Structure 1
């Protein structure tokens, strides 16, 4: 039973040490704030997709315009106009993409700030939890050490009792053997005396 208790305490200590980082974790951001981030993140992704699509469309239109300009009399003028249209469309598309990326950067900045604030606010609670875990772990270790010491003392006591029993058994056996030998010697002496008396009578 004591061995089982010792093993159980060892398991509890290990569980407390492993559970420490889990119980000290940060809480999630408020639902309302997270919903706002999700909404703006979705908006940022839409802007970047639209910007990318507009760039691809502008490039296709520019390639088409270049081919059509080759058929016109004022080729260079046509190409210049086509280039202006492309640049304007390309810049508008880049603005959309950049706006989406700016929103994403702002969201990440806000998330980092919120995480830092919550971590700082939860620091006292985490410290209290850590101290409580350390105290409980220390108590369990002390209890385990006491149980182990008790087990060792019990082993020593039982070994001493076993040695004492063996010594007592050996002493009893020696006394019994000595009594038996004395009895045999007495019988021999008595028999010898009777034999001598019988011989003298003859």
Structure 2
């Protein structure tokens, strides 16, 4: 019996299991009114039994009191007690029937609850493969997202490094261009100064 949910899960589809669950719920609703009626009948039998026993006890007390005025008191009391015992035995059948009804209802309710429990266990067992597949897909999607995030981060870092390198190269070119202009300007100035010095020297040597 312990393997029953597993065998059910293996042999039934999810739709069949859900149908069984719905059937169990419907059966409980349908049986509820019957159970209530039968339990009410059991309660009625118990109440009637208690009422008749109470009446029989009252009759016995009256009979015992009446026996005190008779010649054979003990025999009279014994006869009254025997009559009282017969009445109690007859009424005991009502109590037995009430017990039988209550046990029957409780057994049916217990069986139905057990069937519902087994059906729910079968449903959970049948959902395991689908749940495992969903978890696997979710884990794969999360791993893909993490990998994509890492790739984006690496790409961003590479682009940032390339941009920094380009900016540094442009800055170095700018510095080199500036230094070249300064050197060229300085060379022109030196050439101009040397020319002026030669001209002055030639002028001073002329007759």
Using structure 1 for the length normalisation, give the TM-score.
0.59
CA distance in 1 between counterparts of 2:187 and 2:103 reads: 118
Residue 139 (structure 1) aligns with: 137
CA distance in 1 between counterparts of 2:78 and 2:185 reads: 146
Shift, 1:41, TM fit: 2.9
CA distance in 1 between counterparts of 2:51 and 2:196 reads: 142
CA distance in 2 between counterparts of 1:177 and 1:153 reads: 36
Is the Cα–Cα contact under 8 Å of residues 49 and 91 in structure 2 kept in the other structure? yes
Residue segments in structure 2 that go unaligned for 5+ positions in a row:
1-17, 201-207
Among candidates 131, 152, 155, match of residue 153 of structure 2: 155
Residue segments in structure 1 that go unaligned for 5+ positions in a row:
1-22
Among candidates 192, 195, 199, match of residue 193 of structure 2: 195
1:36 and 1:194, CA in 2 relative to 1: closer, same or farther beyond 3 A?
same
Is the Cα–Cα contact under 8 Å of residues 45 and 95 in structure 2 kept in the other structure? yes
1:133 and 1:182, CA in 2 relative to 1: closer, same or farther beyond 3 A?
same
CA distance in 1 between counterparts of 2:143 and 2:188 reads: 67
Structure number with larger C-alpha Rg: 2
Q: Which runs of 4+ in 1 moved over 6 A?
A: 52-55, 72-95
Residue 162 (structure 2) aligns with: 164
1:119 and 1:175, CA in 2 relative to 1: closer, same or farther beyond 3 A?
same
Trace 1:91-102 onto structure 2 (pairs within 5 A).
Answer: 96=94, 99-102=97-100
Trace 1:51-62 onto structure 2 (pairs within 5 A).
Answer: none
Shift, 1:184, TM fit: 1.7
Cα displacement string for residues 111-164 of structure 1 (whole angstroms, at most 9, x for unaligned residues): 222343455567655433332222223222222221222122112212211121
CA distance in 2 between counterparts of 1:144 and 1:80 reads: 91
CA distance in 2 between counterparts of 1:92 and 1:194 reads: 149
Residue 14 (structure 2) aligns with: none
Shift, 1:43, TM fit: 2.7
Using structure 2 for the length normalisation, give the TM-score.
0.58
Trace 1:1-202 onto structure 2 (pairs within 5 A).
Answer: 26-27=21-22, 28=24, 30=27, 31-48=29-46, 96=94, 99-117=97-115, 119-120=117-118, 126-202=124-200
1:187 and 1:78, CA in 2 relative to 1: closer, same or farther beyond 3 A?
farther
CA distance in 2 between counterparts of 1:141 and 1:37 reads: 50
- Give the count of matched residue pairs: 176
1:168 and 1:34, CA in 2 relative to 1: closer, same or farther beyond 3 A?
same
Is the Cα–Cα contact under 8 Å of residues 47 and 100 in structure 1 kept in the other structure? yes
